[in-house]
Amino acid sequence: MPHAGYKQFCPLAMAAEVLCTRWTMVLVREMIAGSTRFNDLRRGVPKMSPTLLSQRLKDLEAAGVVIKRPVPSERGVFEYCLTQAGEDLYDVVIAMGMWGQKWVESSLSLGNLDASLLMWDMRRNLNPEPLVGRRAVLQFVFHDQPSTKRDWWLVVEPTGETDLCWSDPGFEVDLYVNVDLRTMTAIWMGLTKVSAERDKFELTGSREIADSMQRWLGLSPFAAQKKLVS
């Protein structure tokens, strides 16, 4: 790693030299969540510069946490996969996230709103079971955001695969969800529920999909952790 170390033989200090540089654990979180391609990783860390992302991937590769592999079917395309050492970080990532959910003040977390990151996380954590059997198109409208961050589409295929679109995919929308970004983020984090915030939603479209929203909505993997500070 190209930074000053702690100069200690302690295993924790040695691990911190690998993992505690800026953005590193957030990047590992993305890889634990299943992202392997550069552009997908960028979507999970939208405020990280491409240059720094590239450097951190090289650092993790040098540390034996990540391996870079060519995609056989796509010339010039690579994916970044966790090694066994990287996969062993799963419990570390979960423990850190649970600690943050439990002890970091909600007001601090909700001060870092990001529509693109929220929708990316909702896409990969969405539960397709209540929607399975046909294509379901869900349009989220964050009315308090600028036009470039206001409209988002989740397209849930009959197989359960879910795509996130920044522009209109051209399908008939089954449910329009009009809400402010803070409320949607708080629900995703498990700080509140759809039923408790009904007066902040404008739901237009399928009554069945609207009524099952809490079931299909993709929540944070840390949402189950009870928060001990407000």
In this predicted structure, the answer to whether residue 1 has a pLDDT above a threshold of 80 is: no
Residue with tokens 């039923």: 195
In this predicted structure, the answer to whether residue 230 has a pLDDT above a threshold of 70 is: no
pLDDT in tens, 133-176: 889 999 999 999 999 999 999 999 999 899 999 999 999 999 99
In this predicted structure, the answer to whether residue 184 has a pLDDT above a threshold of 70 is: yes
* Dist. CA 213–CA 176, nearest whole Å: 12
* Dist. CA 26–CA 30, nearest whole Å: 7
pLDDT in tens, 2-52: 556 788 989 999 999 999 999 999 999 999 999 999 999 999 999 999 999
pLDDT in tens, 110-133: 999 999 999 999 999 999 999 978
Q: What pLDDT score was predicted for residue 4?
A: 65
Angle, to 10 degrees, between the axis of helix 90-103 and the axis of helix 24-32?
A: 110
Please check whether residue 203 is in contact with residue 220, taking contact to mean a CB–CB distance below 8 angstroms. Answer: no
Give which of 57, 112, 90 is closest to 221, Cα–Cα: 90
